[in-house]
Each structure stands twice: as structure tokens, then as C-alpha cells.
Amino acid sequence: MFRPKIAHIDLTKRAVSYDYIPSEIVSMFLGARGVNSYLLYTNTDKGTNPFGPENPLIIGNGLLTGLSGPTTSRATISAKSPESGLLGDANIGGHFGAGMKRTGIDYLMIKGMADAPVYLEVTDNKVVIKDAGHLWGKDSHETREALEKEYGKDAQMLCIGQAGENLVRFAAVMHGKKGAAARTGMGAVMGSKKLKAVVVKGTLKIDAHDPAGFKEYTKNINERMKKEFLIEALSKYGTSHLYDVINNNIEMGRTYNGLSSRFAENIDISPETLRTKYYDGRRACFSCTVACRHKYLIKDGPNKGLSGEGPEYSVIGNLGPLCGIKEMESVLLINDLLNRYGLDACSTGNMIAWSIELYKNGIITKSDTGGIELDWGRADIVMELVRQIGERKGFGNILADGAKECVKRFGKESARYISWIKNMPQSCPVDLGMAVSTRGADHLRSRCPWEAFELKAEQLEEIYGGTVDPNPHGYKGKGRVVWWWEAYLGLFDAMGMCKLILFHCLPGVWNFDVYAELIRLGTGIELTADEVFDAGERITTIERMFLVREGITRKDDTLPERYFNPLIMNEGLDEYTKNLKIDREKFNEALDEYYNLHGWDRGTGMPKEETLERLGLGSLIGVKI
């Protein structure tokens, strides 16, 4: 019987107790994001205050995290989001999850509020609440270095920078030099609880249910992955190569706050520039053979000596072209600030780009910006705004409240200029998947990378079980694609595996049979491929139930109005790209298809009662929608 251990931490009372996740829940939701979403739903109510003591902060390991499986490093951090006011979670790799696994504790459920700054010390089967007064006010690098002096460099930790302390609503939880559980403001939830860090240092031995079988199966998967041409690109360039794929291969880039898809001219920002001018080695997360965590070093000029990890393609896109910036070195400088303060690159870049467009359209003025003249391509201004956001000073103090609150302040007209869904600024334009994403405008819930691989229609039909248009900009079958990928990716989150690796593999390396076999060998839990798929669908559905409870309906599963019109700035684009837009009628037809496959009501977007019963959610949670 597989029952992960959970520590319940009450920061108000400074008390800790322990329990186990029931095996039934594990079989239904597996782990990490799945179990977290179950715990979040059952431990909150409609209207729970994201900054209130009743909002639980849940840190959960994947089902296979800490075993020496393929990319089995990841953990999920969940709470009600202070940025969107809805479902919040963020995922992190590196070595924290494996480190927590070695303590014998897989889940931390943190409630209440400390009366002074604290951190958690997690050792073998034990959690201790410790004073963090000496850490409060430090950035994430300084915090990590201070704790490493006390616990050694083999200790693993999560922490917040000043952005989390200052309750910036899109503050990230940081791990290492650049690892970030970034989206939905989990760092701000930590800050609201005066929780500065979580340190894990365990000595327990972790074994798979079938050690020899798990090792051999993992070896076979890793050997298949090595043959994937995009895995080679990921190793060589890190995720920066995705910037080229998104901008040049499938015309899905965003420049000047989405006014255009790319610059008319060639620019300094490219994976080759990063590789040839700034490359300083690479690192791997726990149990990963790909090692896509690239390190950079500025080797000459006024910024000589600045080093770090990354930047990931989300940083490059959202703090580079989205803000009109064309120089890679500027992106490296901004990346360093984001990591130190602990800020989500996607929301930070969107908030700054949005404010630039508002300024240029006269919706906000110097009286709003504190005298700063906002303009495209000004890295100095972007860096100043990042500092102001992290420290909650000047105009940055306004932006730090996030898009939802800023629209209230700037007026309804301002909402026309921001790309957001369910109160969350977007990360990457994948349209239908982004519209229905359970954590707002985010691509990591259902992104389908195979659209860039030019698969044939018959291949897609075999994979998805229905007709799918192979054109990335087509509509036929895209509701089916999003539904399928939600389960596919939800399972990777729940098992504690890396979606970046999944994105870089063609069909054949991974499938639901592979998932089932990894689960069996790793934990002894026997599930069929169909039952594994159901677990993925169950995760999405319980998250949808959370949204429905907060008042989300079909009207919220839509796109920014800008997407239904051609690009405004189209210099240098071909005629096809100039005229790209979303057809509203076809979009709604795809949404109908998506609802039908999920068993959700097409009029409201609510899961039907028979769907809840089919997935075991009606009787388990006692919810009748």
C-alpha cells in the first residue's frame, strides 16, 4: 500500500502534526499537482482570502519524484492565487523534490500566519519551525547562501526574495540560482505567512517498488530520448532554442505587447548568440540525462563578470521582444534581477509591456508612472520597473498588485490592451488551450508541441482518436487535442516528471502505457493505460470544480479581444502572417468539442453530474454541481 507522508504545519500556533495521504487518493490523483489540487479544493471555500491564514500553502512531491527515473525531480506548490484570486500552483525541478523525498515526507500543508519571519527545517520524518529574522530582507541568492553556510551545500531549499516579502502578487518561489515556481504568486502566499524558506536535508534511502525493473525501464526510456533530434537541441541551447521555434517556425511570437509577432529586422536575441557569446557550462536537475540548465557569463564590457543560469525562453520572450528589447545582454541583466527579487517573468514582462502600450496610448501618464517616460526597447526602464516592483516602490508598487487590480485602477479601457485570461497575464499564445487553462492564461496545462513537428493528418488521428487539422493555425479537432494534452501533461506533473523533456520528444517515447508501467514499477500501484488517462482527466476536472465554485463559467473561457483581429504592427511580415487572427465562430465550435469530450455542460462549462460520478468525484467530495 502506497501512502505518502504529509506534515501539517500551523504557523499561527507553531505546531506540527503528521498523517498519510490515503491510498485511494493516491490512486485517483497520483501526486504533486494532482494530490495538491485535491487538498486545495477540500481545504478551501468559495471566497477564501489568498492572503488569509486559512489559505493553505501545499508543497507536494510527484508520485515518482526522488526515484532515479526519467526526469523524476519535480514538485508542485499550490494555494489560492493572490494574482488571479482563483486556482494557484507552480511547478519546480532542480533537486528540492528529491531532497524532500529523502526526509520521508512528501507533502507539506502550511496554514496560519507566523507572528515573525520563520523558515521550516525538514529532516528525517521531522519538521521544525525556526526563526528567520536574520534572513528577512535578503534577496533569494543571499538567502540561499546564508542557509547553505548553516546546513551545507547538500541541503536543498525553497525561498522567497523581497518580492515575496512585499506581497507582490506575482512573486515566485525560488530554488537554486534560477529555479522558480513562478506562476500564480505562490511566493506572495509564502510572504503573507512570513515564511521565508523551506530547507530539506534527509538521509533516508529511497527505493522503487521493483528497483531492478524500474532501473532497466528508465534506461530504455533514456536511450530512446537520446535519439530525439530536439533533445539534442535542448541539451545544446537550453530552452532558448524554443524562442526560434515559436517565432520563426509557427509564427506564435509576441513583440511590442503582442502588436506584432516578431521584429521586422534580425536582432541580437537568439539561441546562437547566447551559446557563442555567453555560454558558461550547464547543469542537470535530479535524475536527468539532458542537462538543459545552461549557465551564462558576461565576459567583457561594463557588465563583465555577471553570471547566472538561464535565461529560459519565457524570460527571453516576455522581458525581451514583448517589451521591444532586442539585445541579449539586456535580457541577462533583467534575468538576474528577476531571480534575485523572486519574480514571475511572464507576469512581470506582461505588466511592463502593457504599461508601455497604455502610456503610448495616453491611458496612463507621467503622473501615474512617477515621471518615468515609458517606451519600447528601453532596457534601463524595464530594469528600473523590475526593481520598483520587487521593492514595491513608485509606479512598481502599482504594477505589483497584478493585472486584476491594475485594471480597476486604470479603468476598463485599459483591459483592451492586456493579453490575459481569468485575471492572469499570458505566457505563450496557444489560444484554445490557454483559454481553458485551469490556472489562467498559461500554456503549460495543454500545450501541444507536436504542431511544430509537421506530423501528417493520419498520424494525428492515430494519436488522438479523431480527425485533427495538422496546420497549427487550423481549427478542426483542436478541442480534442487540448482535452488529450491536458491529461497527458497533468500526468507528468502528478508523477513529478519534466514537461520540457516531454515537449521535445516525438510520439513513441511517451504514452499512457509507459506512464502505467513506470507507476507500477516505481510504486506497485496497478493501473491500466485507460485508468492513467482518467487520472489526468480527473486532475483537470477537480481544478475546474475549484474554478466553478469561484464563479467561473463558459464566458471566461475565451481569449483577449486582440486575438480576434489581425496584428496591428505588421511591418516585415508576410501576407499570411499579417492576416492571422482567431475566427470567433470556429473558436466556439472547438470549445464545444472540448466540453463534449470532458463531459462538461456546453452552456455553462460546468462538469456534469454524470462526469463527476464517472471520475469518482461526486461521492469522494460530495459536490453536486
Crossing angle for the helix pair 512-523 and 529-549, to the nearest 10 degrees: 90
Cell of 181: 515556481
Q: CA 147: distance to chain centroid?
A: 26
Q: How many residues does the chain have?
A: 625
Check residue 241 and give its pLDDT: 86
Q: Is residue 184 domain-shared with residue 236, that is, in the same domain?
A: no
Q: Is residue 225 domain-shared with residue 179, that is, in the same domain?
A: no
Q: Choose among 177, 95, 176, 70: nearest CA to 504.
A: 70
Kindly state the average pLDDT of the residues 139-145. Answer: 99
Beta bridge partner(s), residue 180: 174
- Per residue, what are the HEC states of 513-546? HHHHHHHHHHHCCCCCHHHHHHHHHHHHHHHHHH
Global confidence as pTM = 0.97
Q: Which domain holds residue 575?
A: 429-621
Q: Is residue 382 domain-shared with residue 519, that is, in the same domain?
A: no
Cell of 198: 523551506
State the CATH number of the domain containing residue 101. 3.60.9.10
Kindly state the average pLDDT of the residues 599-613. Answer: 96
Q: What is the DSSP string of 174-210?
A: EETTTEEE-GGGHHHHHHHTTEEEEEE--------SS
Residue 279 lies in a domain: yes
Residue 480 lies in a domain: yes
Cell of 477: 479537432
Kindly state the average pLDDT of the residues 187-211. Answer: 98
**Which residue, of 165, 180, 200, is where some domain finishes?**
200
Express each pLDDT in 516-566 by its tens digit. 999 999 999 999 999 999 999 999 999 999 999 999 999 999 999 888 988
| Alpha-carbon dihedral 224, 315, 168, 392, rounded to 10 degrees | 160
Greater confidence (499 vs 430) lies with 499
Check residue 253 and give its pLDDT: 64
Kindly state the average pLDDT of the residues 43-56. Answer: 97
Check residue 624 and give its pLDDT: 35
**Which residue, of 170, 200, 230, is where some domain finishes?**
200
- Per residue, what are the HEC states of 233-245? HHHHHHHHHHHHH
Residue 304 lies in a domain: yes
Check residue 620 and give its pLDDT: 63
Q: pLDDT class for 506, splitting at 50, 70, 90?
A: confident
Domain count, the chain: 3
The pLDDT of residue 242 is above 90: no
Residue 205 lies in a domain: no
Q: What is the DSSP letter of 294?
A: E
Residue 462 lies in a domain: yes
Q: pLDDT class for 473, splitting at 50, 70, 90?
A: confident
Cell of 625: 454541481
Check residue 614 and give its pLDDT: 96
Q: Distance (Å, rounded) from C-alpha 165 to C-alpha 187? A: 8
Check residue 576 and give its pLDDT: 76
Q: Choose among 171, 180, 190: nearest CA to 110.
A: 190
The pLDDT of residue 413 is above 50: yes
Average pLDDT, the chain: 94
Map residue 615 onto helix, strand or coil.
coil
Q: How far is CA 264 from CA 321, 574, 580, in A?
A: 11, 10, 16
Express each pLDDT in 389-405 by its tens digit. 999 999 999 999 999 99
Check residue 429 and give its pLDDT: 64
Greater confidence (187 vs 263) lies with 187
State the CATH number of the domain containing residue 382. 1.10.569.10
Residue 206 lies in a domain: no
Strands 107-111 and 179-181: unpaired
Q: CA 160: distance to chain centroid?
A: 16
Q: Is residue 281 domain-shared with residue 148, that is, in the same domain?
A: no
**Which residue, of 174, 200, 226, is where some domain finishes?**
200
Q: Is residue 341 domain-shared with residue 292, that is, in the same domain?
A: yes
Check residue 575 and give its pLDDT: 79
Express each pLDDT in 61-88 by its tens digit. 999 999 999 999 999 999 999 999 999 9
Q: How far is CA 564 from CA 371, 493, 590, in A?
A: 34, 32, 15
Kindly state the average pLDDT of the residues 146-169. Answer: 98
Q: Is residue 319 domain-shared with residue 250, that is, in the same domain?
A: yes
Phi, psi of 18 (to 5 degrees): -130, 150
The pLDDT of residue 623 is above 50: no
Q: Choose among 353, 345, 363, 347: nearest CA to 409.
A: 363
DSSP H/E element including 111:
strand 107-111
Q: Is residue 402 domain-shared with residue 494, that is, in the same domain?
A: no
Q: Is residue 176 domain-shared with residue 316, that is, in the same domain?
A: no
Kindly state the average pLDDT of the residues 432-460. Answer: 87
Check residue 410 and give its pLDDT: 97
Q: What is the DSSP letter of 5?
A: E
The radius of gyration of the chain from alpha carbons, rounded to an integer in Å, stands at 23
Q: Distance (Å, rounded) from C-alpha 149 to C-alpha 117? A: 19
Of the candidate ranges 241-255, 311-325, 607-621, the one whose mean pLDDT is the lowest: 241-255
Express each pLDDT in 6-26 by its tens digit. 999 999 999 999 999 999 999
Residue 241 lies in a domain: yes
State the CATH number of the domain containing residue 447. 1.10.599.10
Q: Is residue 231 domain-shared with residue 265, that is, in the same domain?
A: yes
Residue 128 lies in a domain: yes
User: pLDDT above 90 covers what percent of the chain?
Assistant: 84
Q: Is residue 247 domain-shared with residue 369, that is, in the same domain?
A: yes
Q: Distance (Å, rounded) from C-alpha 218 to C-alpha 213? A: 8
Owner of C-alpha cell 477564501 = 48
Q: Is residue 479 domain-shared with residue 609, that is, in the same domain?
A: yes
Q: Is residue 195 domain-shared with residue 259, that is, in the same domain?
A: no
Residues 6+ apart with CB under 8 A from 495: 30, 31, 32, 62, 63, 64, 65, 72, 515, 518, 519
